[in-house]
């Protein structure tokens, strides 16, 4: 691998890492919103502002949403680890060649 190829690969990987890095924080904020919505849903159900079956539907939807976010978060974590290890590998192989 030439220096130029390694450099371009590192630039692309750093770009990808930079684009993915904020996503776990976004998912964390979404989890917090889901927790608040679950709490509000329970309050509305207890105060009889919504019917039992409506509250159950909302609770199920929020549960599914949380499961999707957890899966996406796991995928982003996996990809970030792979990108970071590849950056380290390309960088260390470049240093060995110097």
Q: Where are the domains of the chain?
A: 3-97
pLDDT of res. 69 = 97
| Whole-prediction pTM | 0.79
- Cα angle 73, 67, 43; round to 5: 120
The rounded distance, in Å, linking the Cα atoms of 10 and 32 is 34
Tokens of 57: 């539907």
pLDDT at 43: 97
What pLDDT, on the 0 to 100 scale, is given for residue 79?
A: 95
* pLDDT, mean of each 10-residue run, the chain (98 residues): 78 93 96 98 96 97 98 96 89 66
Nearest CA-CA partner of 65 in 23, 30, 40, 39: 30
């Amino acid at each position: 691998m030439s220096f130029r190829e390694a450099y371009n690969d590192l630039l692309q990987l750093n770009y990808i890492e930079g684009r993915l890095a904020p996503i776990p924080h976004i998912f964390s904020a979404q989890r917090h919103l889901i927790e608040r919505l679950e709490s509000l849903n329970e309050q509305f159900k207890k105060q009889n502002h919504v019917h039992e079956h409506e509250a159950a539907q909302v609770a199920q939807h929020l549960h599914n949403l949380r499961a999707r976010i957890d899966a996406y978060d796991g995928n982003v974590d996996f990809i970030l680890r792979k990108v970071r290890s590849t950056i380290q590998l390309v960088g260390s192989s470049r240093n060995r060649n110097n």
